[in-house]
Chain A
Amino acid sequence: MTPRWALPVVVVLLLLRTSVSAQAETIQITMENLVFSPAEVSAKIGDTIEWINKDIFAHTATARNGDWDVTMPPKKTVTLVLKKAGSIDYYCRFHPNMKATLTVAP
């Protein structure tokens, strides 16, 4: 016997899910030959960044403000869901010449 409140809850959950998945995007940022590309990316909270490392080297995408620090093994792709807004400068800890900016809208 399903409780009477269950249906509305399920409906709300379904609505939430569809609204989120309809809006959230997946954005690709590639690391190739020691360069982040594109170097400037705009996204919003809930979007997923797909970090694609095409190099033979390990890289990181490290936010200068400490929001995130993603490590990408050589030739691997790693994803990150954006949870905080802001204009974030990030770099690779292993190769500090690699720098880029990710702007996350609320």
Chain B
Amino acid sequence: MFLRMSAAIAAVSLLGSAALAQGAKPTDPQIAHIAYTAGVLDIAAAKQALTKTGNKEVKAFAEDMVRDHEAVNKQALDLVKKLKVTPEDNDTSRALSKNAADKVAELGRLKGAEFDKAYVANEVAYHKAVDSALETTLIPNSSNAELKSLLQTGLKIFQGHEQHAEHVAASLK
């Protein structure tokens, strides 16, 4: 319970405060970097889950995360190449990566059902945070139409992931 709460709070406050801490609106190269980083981190979390879980639903969920986030990120790479934009590292991306590394270490110490619950709870919190960042910050501030459209597709699919994670979380109770 404590773990679940802390994960949720950490993930949500992180994205919120980091985005705010920047003060100025994020630029397209920064937005692209944040969105891409968020995807990479979720793929890494899923790959960790695939090596640790024995639960069928958790495994299917993690496989979905790898498949969908890799698809979005491939599209994002193609787009930045086409637009000749270089994604730009920034405080939000760095904070996301730091937090995710801590989470991987924390989850790495857990096993079996304990791991499954903590991983899925973090996925719920993570997707909530990412979806909210997309809705309130990243999509409104993106100026390139193609980037905006890709982020909107991302939001739609990640909202599905959030529901899926909630569904798996409920099944693990």
Contacts and interface: CB of A to CB of B under 8 A. Distances in A.
A94 B160 CA distance: 9
A56 B72 contact: yes
Interface residues of A, number: 10
Interface stretch (B28-36, B63-71, B90-98, B136-144): B63-71
A46 to B, nearest CB: 33
A56 B160 CA distance: 15
B71 A33 contact: no
B131 to A, nearest CB: 14
Q: Say which size band chain B's interface belongs to.
A: 10 to 19
B156 A34 contact: yes
A contact face: mostly helix, strand, loop, or mixed: loop
B164 A33 contact: no
Contact of B68 (A33, A94, A96, A97): A94
B74 to A, nearest CB: 7
B163 interface: yes
B67 A34 contact: no
Nearest to A97: B160
A58 B67 contact: yes
A106 interface: no
Interface centre among A33, A34, A56, by most B CB within 10 Å? A56
Nearest to A94: B64
A68 interface: no
Instruction: Identify the 10 closest CB pairs spanning chains A and B, nearest first.
Output: A56-B71, A56-B75, A57-B71, A97-B160, A95-B160, A94-B64, A34-B156, A57-B68, A58-B67, A74-B71
Given A58-B71, A97-B163, 19 more contacts: A33-B153, A33-B156, A34-B153, A34-B156, A34-B157, A34-B160, A56-B71, A56-B72, A56-B74, A56-B153, A57-B67, A57-B68, A57-B71, A57-B157, A74-B71, A94-B64, A94-B68, A95-B160, A96-B160
